[in-house]
Homo-oligomer: A and B are copies of this chain.
Amino acid sequence: MSTCKADHCPCGQTCPLQVALKRIGGKWKIPILCVLSCQQGIRYNELMKKVTGITNTMLASSLKELEKDQLIRRVQYNEMPIRVEYFITEKGNQLIPILQPLALWGME
């Protein structure tokens, strides 16, 4: 994006920050990751309740993208009825401490 190359600047030619924000951007991915970082093995309908205000459509599509980017893992148990559990991955968990200073900054 930018052509800035100073040492203290996180952006290079293809800005890794834009790459990162693409993965965790949007309205719902961070709340989902937060919930998963607190409670592993959570189920779909539990997530619906914990992530206040999210719709079916958005939860499904967000989970799919997070899984594709390997920030979460989906485990399906072929019982009857079917049961699915979601887990945060190592890579996803690394984000939590990284984002904490940003959260503090966001609170002023």
Which residue of chain B is the closest to A30 with respect to CB atoms? B17
Which residues from B are CB-within-8-Å of A34? Answer: 1-2, 4, 9-11, 15, 17
CA distance in complex: A46, B19 (Å): 25
Contact B96 A10 (CB under 8 A): yes
Q: Tell me how many chains of this kind the complex includes.
A: 2
**Interface membership of A18, Cβ < 8 A:** yes
Query: Main secondary structure on chain A at its contact with chain B?
Result: helix
Nearest CB of chain B from residue A82's CB, rounded to whole Å? 25
Contact with B along A65-76 (1 / 0, CB 8 A): 000000000000
Which residues from B are CB-within-8-Å of A37? Answer: 4, 6, 8-9
